[in-house]
Amino acid sequence: MKFITPVVLVMLLPVFGMSQKSIPDISLRSNRNTEINLKKFADTVNHPVIISFWATWCTPCINELEAFNESYEDWQETTGVEVVAVSIDDARSTSRANSLAIGKGWNYTILFDENQELKRALNIANVPATIVIYKGDIIYTHNSYHPGDEEELYEKVKELIK
């Protein structure tokens, strides 16, 4: 049995090399007192959305969201882009996430992926990980963060609304 599975897995890859980039049908609790279904959200909004996976214990993640925040007003005016910050903090720190965001002056919608369902569904190995979605599809994916990455990301967003 053991050898069949990898064979099946590997077989699947070339056949469907054109893997579809779309958002999983998963609902998460948000800091706006509502539950948001990612797929429905992605299908209904007309502007580009940056989804940033972060955690309260992840410094590069926080640096990335701070960098977005510094330009967020400009970005929104020019492109209408929305930032959604998905906290993968588990029970240890999930209650911290919203307080930290407010203490940073962030005005993002925050989603709580407490048992990392969305992170797993998108095959994200580590945080920070950032994806750009537009009209229901994933357009761009980036792992890790270094200062300046936000410029590249914003270029991708600008290309979308041209």
Partner 1 sequence: MKKILILSALTGLYTISLKAQENSSVQPEKTKLIITGGVESNAAWYNRYDEKFLFFEDSRFGSNTYLKTELRYGHFFAGGQYELYKNIAVLGSPKAFNGKQGLGTLYAGYQSDKIDVTAGYIYDQFGSGLAFRTWEDRQLGLNNALIGGRIAVRPVKGLELKILGGNIRNIFSKSDGEVYGADMELQLNDALKIKAKKWRYNIGSSYVLRHTDYIDTINEVPRSVGVVSLRAGAKNDHFAIQAEWVQKSKDILSNGSGQVLYDSGKYTGNALLINTSYTGKQVGINVTLRKLRNMDFRAERGSLFVNNLINYLPALTPQHHFSLQNIYPYNAQGGYYILTGLNNIFNVGEIGGNAEIYYNVPKNTGLGGKTGLQLSLHYGEFHAIDFESDSDFGASIKDLNYNSNKFGDLLFRDYGFEVKKTWNKKLKTEFNYTHFNYNGFIIESGGPGTPTTAADFIAVDGTYKINKKHSLQMDLQHLWSREDIQHRGNWAAATLEYSWAPYVSFYATDLYNYGNDKKDEQIHYYNFGTAINYKNARLSIGYGRQRQGLFCVGGVCRLVPASSGFNASFNYNF
Q: Which residues bind partner 1 (CB under 8 A)?
A: 1-2, 4-6, 8-9, 12-13, 15-16, 19-20, 22, 24-25, 33, 56-59, 63, 66, 70, 90-93, 95-96, 98-105, 114-117, 120-126, 141-144, 146-149, 151-152
Alpha-carbon distance 3 to 58, whole Å? 38
Nearer to partner 1, 96 or 158 (CB): 96
Taking the complex as a whole, the smallest distance from the CB of residue 61 to partner 1 amounts, in Å, to 10
Nearer to partner 1, 6 or 162 (CB): 6
Report whether the peptide linkage leading into residue 128 is cis, meaning its omega lies within 30 degrees of zero.
yes
Q: Locate the DSSP E strands across 44-154.
A: 49-54, 82-87, 109-112, 129-134, 137-143
CB atoms within 10 A of CB 35: 10
Taking the complex as a whole, the smallest distance from the CB of residue 154 to partner 1 amounts, in Å, to 11
Nearer to partner 1, 95 or 161 (CB): 95
Would you mind telling me the total number of residues written for the chain in this entry? Answer: 162
The tokens describing 26, both together, are 């998963």
Nearer to partner 1, 49 or 140 (CB): 140
